[in-house]
Structure 1
């Protein structure tokens, strides 16, 4: 580590993350047409300067200045007496200046008319903004599901990037308030790199057909192995039927949502227990409710491993209740008793305020029994 790096570390400076695809080739490719007028300008300035120095013995700076005002046709006049040969040379410079200026205007008009340069600048800026995201979700394909899912993600302040191959993604993003978007196929290398999947928490693929979901899941899992990612991506997908549901789970999806199945469950709940359905609606989805529900994983190194639930004193310390335990093998224990043993890698379903659940999670993550529990 050199002195500059040490100084930056001391001041807490961090370098700006760069996207995996910077579009530098495309960016500089759009500037290529400007090479000709730039080269011509330099040549005319060089020839003009040398010409004034040889013809009328101008000093270097006077020659550069006279060439500049002549070439640009600003009309300041002669700064020193010029001979007849010098005036002919000046007329030639004015003509060359007009030609170069006309070429430059034509190129600028053509580039602006195409709009590709402006499009590349906007996309490049977007990629740098996406590169700064951490623990975001890559939401694949724009449709009605995406619109509703992104509304909930925004309400929960969860960052996300929408990836879709449509060319009009900029207009779609403005209409549906997508802060970050990428116009590419989600399962391609461009889609993966532009969405900065390496720093994402997971992928939500909501394609209209199962083939696109399969391609996206397979690509995400392959990329996960390629970058040797320690924590696996959380992949959520949608399916039209149970057969597709099982396919996607076998391919590597963590969760698969079937719209028809969910609708049937909700309608059944409304028909059987309408009051309970209203309660769950208020509890789970209303923004201003003081209560929250979350799962907290008990790692092997947690002090709670192989301890009884009542030893954690969640209700006394954080005013949080454990309403369920999901074992590592998938078995769910509803309303566990205080004497229930907490097994390693199990998950506790907690209900309480957001602040209370945060305290409970801190207690669970500790490797040694917290000091505050010794006085309860």
Structure 2
């Protein structure tokens, strides 16, 4: 509707300019360029001097040109502002609708340097996620990247609810301060006790507070950075291999965690009977049992049980096939 109104107003403005130019040519006897110039400076109320002294009729005509032209321009500006506001409202509703449709997604609280990197990693892994950021200066960067986002405070319950905390599989808290991360963790766990929370800790003593708030994993970037640098120094080949399986070297070799559904055809079969190694060329590095047991380098006679999480290494297509096999029968 607003677009049609703007088009109509632009047509009227063009007619005003044409009528003004023609009027000056007839009333004052000016040339086309002089008449056109006088019409433009009159409509825009620029305030430049008259091309030539005007006759009384010319001055009355100029008043009419100013009123008609300025009114039309003001109308166009109002409709353009309306169109901009409506488009933003429509876009925001569309984003909120997409967020409302998410299931088993991840929530990234904070879009600083670390939050931005986390979002890039999740995007590269094709994982659904939504970013919560309250700094307006960073919102444009999030929108430009094409990520779903909410401009709000991640420590507030209503903001987490808008992000779908009740349906989320996990939350990552990388807010500017440890206090905010503690509050975001606590709020998330209160709203959804089952959500898996990973939180950043910077200051000493914050880990204990985050654990009490319910964080499932706590990360200190400085400790991780120091550990990685040391391993690069003393075990460079190991670090290079881990970079490969974590999708950083352009090689189709990945390490994945795959949950086994209780109705999967693999249930109660041994690894040898499942033929995972033979048919998919996948190595099962470890098995996490539902009761918390961890089986490293399982033998070929180890059976696959409901609720197991298989730690597997192999090519992406093979891992996708295994994931589909493990999920068969899932409702």
| TM-score > 0.5, shorter chain as reference | yes
Q: CA deviation at 1:198?
A: 4.0
Structure 1 residues 310 and 145, CA, compared in 2 at 3 Å: closer, same or farther? same
Return the match for 2:110 from 141, 160, 178.
141
Structure 1 residues 362 and 151, CA, compared in 2 at 3 Å: closer, same or farther? closer
Q: CA deviation at 1:189?
A: 3.6
Q: After TM superposition, list the pairs within 5 Å mapping 1:211-226 onto structure 2.
A: 211-224=179-192
Q: After TM superposition, list the pairs within 5 Å mapping 1:123-134 onto structure 2.
A: 123-134=92-103
Q: CA deviation at 1:193?
A: 3.6
Aligned partner of 1:181 in structure 2 is 149
Aligned partner of 1:315 in structure 2 is 277
- Looking at structure 2, the residues matched to 243 and 204 of structure 1 have their Cα atoms a distance apart, in angstroms, of 19
Aligned partner of 2:24 in structure 1 is none
- Looking at structure 2, the residues matched to 189 and 305 of structure 1 have their Cα atoms a distance apart, in angstroms, of 40
Q: After TM superposition, list the pairs within 5 Å mapping 1:286-301 onto structure 2.
A: 286=248, 288-301=250-263
RMSD over aligned Cα atoms: 3.6
Gaps of 5+ in 2: 1-66
Structure 1 residues 302 and 158, CA, compared in 2 at 3 Å: closer, same or farther? closer
- Looking at structure 2, the residues matched to 147 and 262 of structure 1 have their Cα atoms a distance apart, in angstroms, of 18
Q: After TM superposition, list the pairs within 5 Å mapping 1:1-376 onto structure 2.
A: 112=81, 120=89, 122-174=91-143, 177-224=145-192, 232-240=194-202, 243-286=205-248, 288-302=250-264, 304-366=266-328
- Looking at structure 2, the residues matched to 206 and 220 of structure 1 have their Cα atoms a distance apart, in angstroms, of 14
240-249 vs 159-168, which moves further: 240-249
Aligned partner of 1:70 in structure 2 is none
Structure 1 SS opposite 2:246: helix
Contact 1:161 1:178 in 2 (8 A): no
TM-score (norm 1): 0.59
- Looking at structure 2, the residues matched to 141 and 147 of structure 1 have their Cα atoms a distance apart, in angstroms, of 8
Gaps of 5+ in 1: 1-97, 226-231, 368-376
- Looking at structure 2, the residues matched to 259 and 351 of structure 1 have their Cα atoms a distance apart, in angstroms, of 26
Structure 1 residues 335 and 221, CA, compared in 2 at 3 Å: closer, same or farther? same
Measured against aligned partners, the alpha-carbon deviations of 1:7-34 in whole angstroms (never above 9, x if no partner) come to xxxxxxxxxxxxxxxxxxxxxxxxxxxx
- Looking at structure 2, the residues matched to 132 and 192 of structure 1 have their Cα atoms a distance apart, in angstroms, of 15
Contact 1:165 1:184 in 2 (8 A): yes
Q: CA deviation at 1:162?
A: 1.5
Measured against aligned partners, the alpha-carbon deviations of 1:220-268 in whole angstroms (never above 9, x if no partner) come to 222226xxxxxx3232221226743343244333332221221232123
Q: CA deviation at 1:343?
A: 4.7
Measured against aligned partners, the alpha-carbon deviations of 1:63-96 in whole angstroms (never above 9, x if no partner) come to xxxxxxxxxxxxxxxxxxxxxxxxxxxxxxxxxx
Structure 1 residues 307 and 112, CA, compared in 2 at 3 Å: closer, same or farther? closer
